[in-house]
Amino acid sequence: MFTLLQTDTGPNATRARRGRLQTTHGTIETPIFMPVGTQGTVKALDPRELRELEAQIILGNTYHLSLRPGMEIMERMGGLHRFMGWDGPILTDSGGFQVFSLAKIRKIQEHGVAFQSHIDGSPLFLGPKEAMEIQRIIGSDIAMVLDECPPHAAPEKQLREAVDRTVRWAAECLKQPRAEGQLYFGIAQGGTHKALREECAQRLVDLNFDGYAIGGVSVGETEAEMYEAVEYAEPHLPADKPRYAMGLGTPPQLLELVARGVDMFDCVLPTRIARNGTAFTRQGALTIKASYNKDNEGPIEEGCDCYACRKFSRAYIRHLFHAQEILSLRLLTIHNVRMYLRLMNDVRSHIEAGTFAEFRKEFVAGYVPSEKVREDREKAGE
């Protein structure tokens, strides 16, 4: 159900791939960015807007949806597609990442993790069985296995245990009943440890999943370490299956990861920073509330075809943001999601045309990185 259409050719060819993934609710052209719809909505957007933005697939979060509305209601409502009015493909994570990052007091056990809800503190348990059962009820097109995501800079012993547990749980997940046509993706861990990354990838491939994710990235490591983690795992993943880098990243990071053979991405950045008044452009981030926008009649980004850029000025959106109007968050979210999706459109065209390496070089050179990324690079001694 995944077709590798083309690999990067042309001068200084990268490992970039052009592919096509068939799912129950539609076809996904890769490389692709997947907007995040944590609680059953991509924040501030409605399904019609997602279609107009040409979103091909969105994410849902197993952890959040299992706490609220809960699987009893989800099942009665006929699954997430029907509940939220989105008939396109949906990918759900396993909830593991949230259990390890959001939940209170947790205890890792043989068959899963005991933890407390971050909403009301109620005691809960999430194991391979539970994670896949929740995703079966949600009815996502792509379900992720439950993995253990250790913190950044965890000692080797802990990384090793997490890899073993992740592989054991992955095997257990494979045995669970699926929603009709549901695909299962494995998740490679191993932190920044080369041998463990390689081993984890290989052992998951032996289990034969429909696709493979690289997890345990963007958990506090530097940008350079993140690229390395991907480079360690990627050569061990089969060419005929999609590769997904979880929770990444900035626009230039997406291009760097495409160049390293990754096909699928998800990230809260475009929707989250929109709600902080920041817009992504191909030159870098733009702070809409800045006073230099106060009488700027131009759009957020010249050449952008989104509703916000076609119809409204920076001056207006800035006014709305200062006046704390919901419409400002909507318009910035629309632009940021469209910016990411247009960028991936261009990535696909350039791979097809054999001009991806050039496009990547020019884009990355022309993009002003954020404070945080610059600090990371200094830390990494670049």
Is 266 designated active site? Answer: yes
Residue identified by tokens 């050569």 is: 235
Nearest residue to 23 (alpha-carbon basis) of 7, 3, 8, 48? 3
C-alpha neighbours within 13 Å on the C-beta side of residue 295: 0
Indicate the residue among 76 and 107 with the shorter CB distance to a copy of itself.
76
Q: How far is the CB of 86 from a copy of itself (least distance, A)?
A: 10
Q: Please count the residues of this chain forming the interface with a copy of itself, following the rule CB under 8 A.
A: 38
The contacts of residue 116 (CB under 8 Å, 6+ apart) are 103, 104, 105, 106, 122, 123, 124
> Taking CB under 8 A as the criterion, which residues in 52-71 touch a copy of itself?
64, 68-69
Nearest residue to 371 (alpha-carbon basis) of 305, 284, 298? 284
Note whether 304 binds a copy of itself by CB under 8 A.
no
Note whether 125 binds a copy of itself by CB under 8 A.
no
Note whether 117 binds a copy of itself by CB under 8 A.
no
Nearest residue to 92 (alpha-carbon basis) of 68, 62, 64, 69? 62
The contacts of residue 246 (CB under 8 Å, 6+ apart) are 93, 97, 187, 213, 214, 215, 217, 218, 266
Is 210 designated active site? Answer: no
Note whether 41 binds a copy of itself by CB under 8 A.
yes
> Taking CB under 8 A as the criterion, which residues in 326-365 touch a copy of itself?
326-327, 329-331
Q: How far is the CB of 334 from a copy of itself (least distance, A)?
A: 9
Among 31, 47, 261, 299, which residue sits at the site for a copy of itself (rule: CB under 8 A)? 47
Alpha helices in 85-155 (DSSP H): 96-101, 128-138
Task: Say how far residue 218 (Cα) sits from the centre of its chain.
Answer: 11
**Catalytic hit among 93, 141, 147, 376:** 93
Interface contacts to a copy of itself, rule CB under 8 A: 39-41, 43-48, 64, 68-69, 72-73, 76-77, 83-85, 294-295, 297, 307, 311-313, 315-316, 319-320, 322-323, 325-327, 329-331
Active site members: 93, 266
